Amino acid sequence: MKNDLTRRAFLTGTAVTAGLTLAAAPVAPAQDAPPRFQKGVSPWPICMNVSTIRPANVKTKIDATAKAGWDAIELWITDLEAHEKDGGSLKDLGKEIVDRGMFVPNIIGLWECMPMDDDAFKKSLEATRERMRRSAEVGSHFVAAIPAPDGPDFDAKTATARYRELMRIGREDYNIKVAFEFVGFMKSVNRLGQASGIAMDTDDREACLIADTFHMFRGGSGFNGLKHIQGDFIADFHWNDVKDEVPREQQGDEHRVYPGDGVLPLGQALRDLKAIGYKRTLSLEIFKKEYWAMDPYEVAVTGLAKMVECVAKSGV
């Protein structure tokens, strides 16, 4: 009997001790909620692609974008080249952008960087490296590689090898990621599926795309394919709309309009992006001469309001 009581007391004591230990153990804090932007309206940073406010110089573009309240600014390589030509420091420019409360997600980009001919590709690398250097110095996370020249000799297997090599150079020599951008009116790579295949076939974990609502429409991809990829496969998403006044096959960059002013299924696209875990920028990219003739700040204010309204209406 005594042994049974002793055993029972031991078990009871152990249970109490365990309970006290569990009660005293620190509870893991709840995981932080994902960040939101534009006063909580958007789960993604809202970015100005400066094609929308040409032809101002880069300092004016930065000033207008910052004053209007954007989260990020997507510059073009021509902005960086002109700034350096005028004696400016790209590192100082990058610091100014950060000091103004923004960041640079991507630079457009690496032009003529994928010749199919081996000798032509080797010759192109000098200019490509300079563009990578400039993009890295301003603090950009990515630089876009456009599959051009857009000639009849385009070969997907060769393009895959080119993109793989560009990623290696960017990563090892400049600490910048290279994203593959498809263009809806090009003959070579104009669809989401084509671009995804090339990126995936590099067998590189950092392979990723620059997507664009206009190019998805213009190339005929449509938008349902977004549900079949992971969010981090997209480096940056160019955002815009189109009207249905011109046949799809005849539309060019000049036909882009503000989000919500056209017919694209942007709300569903945003809901799909949220579902696949996309966390990077939505970047307004428009090419309107009438906007270029306006004050850049006025365009920046209107563009931001259109972007925020588009996101708010989607319910994300």
Using alpha carbons, list the distances in angstroms from residue 211 to 55, 126, 241.
Answer: 24, 26, 14
Q: Does residue 99 lie in a domain region? A: yes
- The token pair at 131 is 């563009």
Domain of residue 240, residue span: 72-278
| pLDDT value, residue 33 | 80
152: Cβ contacts below 8 Å, ≥ 6 apart: 187
Q: Does residue 156 lie in a domain region? A: yes
| pLDDT value, residue 34 | 84
**pLDDT bucket at 20, cuts 50 / 70 / 90:** very low
Tally of CB atoms within 10 A around 112: 13
The total number of structural domains in the chain stands at 1
24: Cβ contacts below 8 Å, ≥ 6 apart: none
* 251 pLDDT higher than 60: yes
Q: What length does the chain have?
A: 316
The predicted model gives 199-210 an average pLDDT of: 98
- The token pair at 136 is 């890295």
Tally of CB atoms within 10 A around 23: 7
Give residue-wise pLDDT tens across range 253-296: 999 999 999 999 999 999 999 999 999 999 999 999 999 999 99
Crossing angle (nearest 10°) for helices 58-68 and 90-99:
10
**Residues 128, 146: Cα–Cα separation, whole Å:** 11
**Residues 291, 267: Cα–Cα separation, whole Å:** 24
* 55 pLDDT higher than 50: yes
The predicted model gives 222-248 an average pLDDT of: 97
**Residues 33, 198: Cα–Cα separation, whole Å:** 34
CATH, residue 227: 3.20.20.150
Residue 75's closest CA among 85, 60, 86, 67? Answer: 60
Q: Does residue 205 lie in a domain region? A: yes
Give residue-wise pLDDT tens across range 156-167: 999 999 999 999
**Residues 177, 234: Cα–Cα separation, whole Å:** 12
Give residue-wise pLDDT tens across range 82-126: 999 999 999 999 999 999 999 999 999 999 999 999 999 999 999
* 4 pLDDT higher than 70: no
Question: Are the C-beta atoms of residues 285 and 49 closer than 8 Å to each other?
Answer: yes
